[in-house]
Amino acid sequence: MRWAECEAELIKPPKGDKTPLKHHLLKVYEATGKKPKQLAEQPEKPQELDYLLGWFYDLHNATRGQITFTEIRNWSELMHVSVRAWEVEVIRRLAVIFAH
């Protein structure tokens, strides 16, 4: 979950700005060829997280970030997706991380 914690920080806009910090850092990287510290220190996103991130983003967008057990159950029934208990816990943890 370290990747998600770093990503959550990077997608926040700096104070007084509406553009995510990550966008600014990527522009610096493009212009200078030097990767800013925040980008360089971000762990690689585990590929195993890809499908769960997809589910999380679906739920997050549909619920405006209010991802409850009921919302997960309803989503899984509508989408015909069997969600295991540990996957629910990961989705809920992602919701907490990205809420801050």
Per-residue pLDDT of the chain (100 residues; tens, 9 = 90+): 899 999 999 999 999 999 999 999 999 999 999 999 999 999 999 999 999 999 999 999 998 888 999 999 999 999 999 999 999 999 999 999 988 6
For the chain, domain boundaries: 2-40, 47-99
How distant, in Å, are the alpha carbons of 49, 50, 85 from that of 91? 10, 12, 10
| pLDDT score at 91 | 95
User: DSSP readout, 2-31?
Assistant: HHHHHHHHHTSPPTT-SS-HHHHHHHHHHH
C-alpha 88/C-alpha 73 separation (Å) is 9
Report the sign of the C-alpha dihedral through residues 10, 16, 18, 24, in that order: negative
pLDDT of residue 42: 92
CA distance 69 to 2: 23
- Per-residue pLDDT, 46: 92
